[in-house]
A and B are shown apart, each in its own frame.
Chain A
Amino acid sequence: MKKRLHVAVATVGLGALLALAAAPLFAHHSFAAEFDPSKPVKLKGTVTEMEWINPHSWIHIDVKSADGKVTSWMVEGGSPNALLRRGFTKDALPAGAEVIVEGYQAKDGSNRANGRDITFADGKKLFLGSDNTGAPAGSEK
């Protein structure tokens, strides 16, 4: 049985709507402990594998230096679940794709970086643009 509740609501102008802070991102781990802001990296490499896993995805790339030496790097990405909900599959980033990564190197000096900016070699964003462009065709909901 429903009761109608009458609640007096004061009308407040939109100007009174102060910036409502977005709920802080649930920071489940400290990236400042993992990556070193004093060690920026810009990597250009070939994808060997993308791990579509949680809590973070990881993109493995081979980076070839000018002298022909190949170094393997791991780049940290976000949880892939939101991409999967939009229709992306593991085929979205196949082995062999050329990518460019901007981020910082791991604090312990290993060949790991956070994927702050990841694009294909032609500059196209890896998955989604911030306005949600880039979702696979037919995945619109």
Chain B
Amino acid sequence: MNIPTASFALLALSLPLAAQTYKAPRTADGKADLNGIWQALNTADWDIQAHSAAAGPAPMLAADFAVPPGTGVVEGNEIPYLPDALAKKKENFAKRYSDDPEVKCYLPGVPRATYMPYPFQIVQSPKTILISYEYAGAVRTINMDKPTKAPVDSWMGWSNGHWEGDTLVVDVTGLNGKTWFDRAGNFHSDALHVVERYTPRSADTLLYEATIEDPKTFSKPWKISMPLYRHVEKNAQLLEFKCVEFAEELLYGNLRKQPRGGAAPK
């Protein structure tokens, strides 16, 4: 047993017996088995804070694309924005349906990828844990070996992971600051540092927690948490949501030779 695990075990022994924690099945190398297809069941992608239902951006689509309500996933429901950043957030919210990178099918970054309304799959091996997200084919590889440093920034960041008991702890840096936390304009800079924790809480659920730290945007760290649910249907499978082509008219429509409908299909 390595030292962090031993310390955790000693700490666990000293806790009152009433705090019963679920003991997940093990992988062949003795770690909690996180393999599977998972999905969040909340409206955090719309707005990570508590919010009421609201009209959507497209009157023609009416109830289909209205904003569903949510009780929020932010602990304490407060996001400690610095004053300038709070102003920027409000500006983002006002322009959210044009400025949200998700509209353009851009990669969602961390932690947003976790609570997009699409499934993702964890493929777990001792030295590498791969997380494949159905949305836009987003992917992360979590290095479980000696931690390494991000040489450049990227959309999905640079992930180093380790185990603390049955909890997978992932330290994410190297995020490029171009993603949002949700469709409500909550954002961050390239100084973002996320620490995620994935803890099995029952046979078919995980507890997902993420601590957010970004001194350029927030006055102090803050935290989100939510359960993740296993897809238990027999034929559960990630399919393709390659949304880039859905965004082409938005991105390039003004550069067409003829307005929409004039181009020969390929």
Contact = CB atoms under 8 A, between A and B. Distances in A.
A58 interface: no
Contacts of A80: 152
Interface string A86-110: 0111100000000000000000000
A90 B190 CA distance: 13
Interface of A: 52, 80, 84, 87-90
A89 B151 CA distance: 5
A112 to B, nearest CB: 15
Contacts of B153: 52, 90
A89 B152 CA distance: 6
Interface residues of B, number: 3
B187 to A, nearest CB: 19
12 contacts: A52-B152, A52-B153, A80-B152, A84-B151, A84-B152, A87-B151, A88-B151, A89-B151, A89-B152, A90-B151, A90-B152, A90-B153
Given A84-B151, A84-B152, A90-B152, 4 more contacts: A88-B151, A89-B151, A89-B152, A90-B153
B173 to A, nearest CB: 13
- Interface pairs A-B: 8 shortest CB-CB: A89-B151, A52-B152, A90-B152, A84-B151, A89-B152, A84-B152, A90-B151, A80-B152
Contacts of A52: 152-153
Nearest to B255: A108
A52 B152 CA distance: 7
Interface string B129-160: 00000000000000000000001110000000
A41 B84 CA distance: 41
A80 B151 CA distance: 11
A87 B149 CA distance: 11
Nearest to A50: B152
A15 to B, nearest CB: 45
Nearest to A87: B151
